[in-house]
Amino acid sequence: MTLRPYQARFKSAIYNSFRTNINVMGVLPTGAGKTHCFSSIVSDCIAKGHKVLILAHREELIGQAYAKLKNGYNLEVGVIKSGYTPNLSAPVQVASVQTLIRRDLNIPFKLMIVDEAHHDQKNNTYGKIRDKIKKYSPTLRVLGVTATPIRLNGSGFKDVYDDMVIGATVKELIELGNLVPPKYLIHAPVDLGGVKKTGGDYNLKQLAESYRAKMPCELLIEDHLKYFQGKQTVVFAINIEHSKDIVESYNRKGIKAAHIDGDTPDEIRKSILRDFADKRITVISNFGILTEGFDCPGIEVIQLARPTESLSLFMQMGGRALRPAEGKEQAIISDWANAVMTHGKLEFDRDWTLGGLSGKYKKTVKALDKLTGKVYSLERLPMDIPPEWLELIEVDDAQIHKANEYNNIVGEFKKLHFTATQRGFKPKWVFWRLMDKYKPKTDEKITTIATVFAENVEWKPSSVPHLVREYKQKIG
């Protein structure tokens, strides 16, 4: 199988890293083809007579890897998981983490691949498996692949990996046409002041109670009918009961919807996902199951109804909709969970490191009211602003101050202009009243006021330097 250019560069960079490192983490966004990339590496390894072990923690991930290796690369593959007949003579073994921890595997592997490696820790199940495998594999190399190399507490993976290889970013893949751009619908936040945190994230029981009281499921259905009626939608809910309530609300409105979670029997889950892919149902609501290993390019909308402090979880949820499909121009991220303003847009550049997310690239996310030009923080976002009026912007404190200053001048201009119109004064009267009020001293402030005036009385931009010069002459 042929790799795309960005995938080939990613693979080459991994090989270069392995020249000097034993444990390498590879980062590639959701929808960019991580399975394809590591399957190509597996194929190279098998061609040299080596054996490879792949670790995955979910049925869907195991199935994806097995299908890609067997059907895409024509490799013999064994599966180590309860319910499967083992084939330990196969050169590639795809193993369930939950199964392998209970078994000894005295096979000398050359390469171990950890899928969704953001779960990997030195002292958890993954680390214990690594230690067991290394007993029989003295020259073992480990490749961990993930879209989100960060833990809930913000820490990184220096205790597990030696180097990080970063492939194409979400923004780059959108520009290449390999992912579709997201469109955000930002809804007024629910007050989570009374919700405690457990293990670094919101307590799900308290979170569900808060949402049940403050954000009825019917709002999600109104959202669907108003902004993306008929589009294939995946909802991320707080818990199983919340997800089932959402599905019931959708079905009451005649919109075909279904619920799945980790306890849904495999055959029922597969049937629901097939019906969704074939558009026999419009909405799937889920709890804790479609964040990883679920690839359906037909997803057009993500409704985020589960707040989270986890950047990784947010990106996994939102990234489900970015895969391209015929006729699909964008992905809608409808945020009822305060998530986008908490974590930033999916396509924002993030400076991933083995030590976590670099603080120097963290900026504040604000909501810009496109109608008035006002900029709001998450806590001050008015509830009556329609989501289609809001645009998310990434700003620093200086930008926020400058934007708010500009908006204040515009507001003052409007009041003065109304007075001038009522009294029959000429437009220039407004300009001088603005200058009297603000008494600007710096060239930047003088120019800002002159620009606001010229724009709002519809004078040409060339008038601004003349206004600045006239004011400076007056004040000496």
CATH number, domain with residue 40: 3.40.50.300
Residue 42 within any structural domain of the chain: yes
Task: Report the chain's terminal Cα–Cα distance, integer Å.
Answer: 74
Q: Kindly state whether residue 356 falls inside one of the protein's structural domains.
A: no
Measured distance CA(30)–CA(34) in Å, rounded: 8
Most distant CA pair in the chain, distance: 93
What Å distances lie between residue 73 and 34, 41, 44, 89, CA to CA?
15, 11, 10, 18
Number of domains in the chain: 3
Asked if 473 contacts 464 with a C-beta cutoff of 8 angstroms, the reply is no
Alpha helices in 68-166 (DSSP H): 97-100, 125-134
Cβ count near 163 (within 10 Å): 17
- C-alpha to C-alpha distance for 181 and 215, rounded to whole angstroms: 28
Q: What pLDDT is attached to residue 371?
A: 74
Q: Residues 447, 453, 458, CA angle at the centre, nearest 5°?
A: 120
Are 94 and 204 contained in the same domain? no
Contact (Cβ atoms closer than 8 angstroms) between residue 237 and residue 287: yes
Same domain, 224 and 331: yes
- In DSSP notation, 240-293 reads HHHHHHHHHHHHHTT--EEEEETTS-HHHHHHHHHHHHTTSSSEEEEESSSSSS
Q: Specify whether 199 is located in the same domain as 104.
A: no
Residues 229 and 327 in one domain: yes
What pLDDT score does 399 carry?
62
- In-domain check, residue 353: no
Query: Tokens 């000097």 belong to which residue?
Result: 20
pLDDT for res 360: 42
Residue 250: closest CA among 228, 274, 231, 224: 224
Does a structural domain hold residue 404? yes
pTM > 0.85: yes or no? no
Domain that holds residue 318: 182-346+363-394
Per-residue pLDDT of the chain (476 residues; tens, 9 = 90+): 899 999 999 999 999 999 999 999 999 999 999 999 999 999 999 999 999 999 999 888 999 999 999 999 999 999 999 889 999 999 999 999 999 999 988 899 999 999 999 999 998 999 999 999 999 999 999 999 999 999 877 778 999 999 999 999 999 999 999 999 999 998 887 888 889 998 889 999 999 999 988 899 999 999 999 999 999 999 999 999 999 999 999 999 999 999 999 999 989 999 999 999 999 999 999 999 999 888 899 999 999 999 999 999 999 999 999 999 999 999 999 999 989 888 889 998 888 999 877 654 445 677 777 777 777 766 666 766 777 777 777 766 566 667 778 888 999 999 999 999 999 999 999 999 999 999 998 998 999 999 999 999 999 989 999 999 999 998 87
DSSP state of 114: E
290 plus 375 within the same structural domain: yes
Indicate whether 23 and 150 sit together in one domain.
yes
Q: Is residue 352 part of a domain?
A: no
**CB-count exposure of residue 268 (10 Å: 0-12, 13-18, 19+):** exposed
Whether 76 and 159 share a structural domain: yes
| Per-residue model confidence (pLDDT) at position 1 | 82
Q: What is the pLDDT of residue 400?
A: 61
Claim to verify: residue 377 and residue 444 sit in the same structural domain: no
Judgement on whether residues 200 and 334 belong to the same structural domain of the protein: yes
Q: Where are the beta strands (DSSP E) in 3-115?
A: 23-27, 52-56, 77-80, 92-96, 111-115
